Amino acid sequence: DTAVSQTPKYLVTQMGNDKSIKCEQNLGHDTMYWYKQDSKKFLKIMFSYNNKELIINETVPNRFSPKSPDKAHLNLHINSLELGDSAVYFCASSQELKGYTFGSGTRLTVV
Amino acid sequence: GENVEQHPSTLSVQEGDSAVIKCTYSDSASNYFPWYKQELGKGPQLIIDIRSNVGEKKDQRIAVTLNKTAKHFSLHITETQPEDSAVYFCAPQGGKLIFGQGTELSVKP
C-alpha cells in the first residue's frame, strides 16, 4: 500500500493548457503539502493544508490553486501553464513534529 | 528571514569511507531536525531525525548530531556503500518549512 500517492507520474503539456495533479495519503496525517523541485534540486514549499484548511500559501502565482476535498486528499490545479512551470512537483504529508512522507513526484514538462 | 544552508553541495567518497554533511539554520524556534535521502526518480525519504532535547542519535551506519547553541546539525554516514549515493536534504522545523539546498553524495566502488 502506497502511503502518499500522486498521479500522474509524468505530464507533458502545451503552454496555455490547464492541468491537475492529484494526491492522496492513507497515513491519517492531518497536514498535506505541495512542494516544487526545480532542475537544481531545490525543494520549495508551495502550499500546506491542515485538516482541509489552507495554512501556508507561499509566493506562488495564482494560476496555481490547491484543493483539499478531505484531509486525505490535496489536489493541485494549474491554469495557463507556462514554460517556467516545468519541474517535479511533490506531494507530502506529516503529523506535527514528525517527518514528512513524500509521494514519488510528478514530472511536469511544458512545451 | 529564516535561512538554511547545507555544506558541501557535492561530496565524493570511496566506498568504506565516512561522509559528513552539515546543516546550519537561523530559526531559533527550530526544535525538530530531520535528514532526507532522495534517490534518482524518487521522492525524499526520511532517514533519521533528532529532537532539540537530544545531542546525538545513531541508527546503524547513520547518525545525526545537534549543536543547538551554534544552530547546526550534521549527518554522519560511516562505511559508505554505493547505494548511499543520493541527494541528502536537511529540513529543520520550527516556523517556516525550509529545506536545505541538498548535498549530492557519490560513493565510488
DSSP state of B28: T
pLDDT band at A13 (very low <50, low <70, confident <90, very high): very high
Q: Are B32 and B21 in contact (CB under 8 A)?
A: no
| Cell numbers at A99, concatenated | 517527518
pLDDT digits (tens, 9 = 90+) for A15-66: 999 999 999 999 999 999 999 999 989 999 999 998 888 887 777 899 999 9
What is the percent of chain B with per-residue pLDDT over 70, rounded to a whole number?
97
- For chain A, the residues whose C-beta falls within 8 A of a C-beta of chain B are 4, 33, 40-45, 48, 56, 90, 92, 97-105
The secondary structure of chain A, three-state, reads CCCEEEECCEEEECCCCCEEEEEEECCCCCEEEEEEECCCCCEEEEEEEECCEEEEECCCCCCEEEEEEECCEEEEEECCCCHHHCEEEEEEEECCCCCCEECCCEEEEEC
Q: Which of residues 67-86 of B touch A (CB under 8 A)?
A: none
pLDDT, position A52? 81
What is the Cα–Cα distance from B74 to B48, expressed in whole angstroms? Answer: 11
- Sequence-ordered alpha helix ranges (H) in B14-57: none
Cα–Cα distances in angstroms (integers) from residue B101 to residues A38, B10, B86, B88, in the given order: 11, 11, 13, 9
